[in-house]
Amino acid sequence: MTIRALIFDLDGTLAETEETHRAAFNASFAARGLDWHWSREDYAVLLKTGGGKERLRAFQAGLREAARLPEADLLRLHAEKTETYGRMIAEGAVGLRPGVEDLILHAREAEMAIAMATTSSRPNVEALVRACWGKPADRVFDVIAAGDEVASKKPDPGIYRLALDRLGLPARECLAFEDSHIGLQSARAAGLGVVITPSSYTAEDDFTGAAYCAPTLEQHNWPLILKAMLLSC
């Protein structure tokens, strides 16, 4: 079976962005005069919930009712956080993880399609791609399925099904790249084989069911990654 497309998660997979997301959340809380602050430990728990707005709601659910923001204010807070995150990324807060750029170049040479399936918002996608490649996202990725385009976030498979639909390919001809348990669940539920490169927040996740798991996508892992592609079909 031939692999015809690679589908990438964004946060934690293409780049180690989660600490920048956490910093942007905390900066936005402070700018609003909120006494909220997410530690690394807090954020590690919140990452079990896919999506930034969903994490805010999950956090609020643990607060007393008087301390919660109305939904409209919560959405504005998330929009402010997205703007802050975009500025941080544009200033060079993160770069691509090892091996990512070479893998995408290799895939292009092999005439594979390149897609993204992320719970992050399209502005976050654009910010990272422009910072790392110096191009609009749709000049790097053939298909982008992002954030609010589906009703439910990962681990729901909807975002991967949307990417597959836009690619016009069956799952057996595509391979997903993820860094987390919820991402693995999402991709597997959509019928995809999955290569895992754990990120700083997901090293202890359960990756049972992945086709292959490696620390990075660096070139010395290519023979095993190619083998994983075949095993995933």
**Active-site option among 11, 156, 179, 205:** 11
The gap from C-alpha 11 to its chain's centroid, in whole angstroms, comes to 3
CA distance 226 to 127: 30
| CA distance linking residue 147 with residue 73, whole number of Å | 19
CA distances to 8, 51, 60, 124 from 79, rounded to whole Å, are 24, 13, 17, 11
Does residue 11 have an active-site annotation? yes
Spot the catalytic one: 9, 156, 179, 205: 9
Count of CB atoms situated within 10 Å of the CB of 88:
19
Structure token digits, residue 197: 């490169």
Mode of pairing for the β-strands spanning 174-178 and 193-196: parallel
Catalytic residue numbers read 9, 11
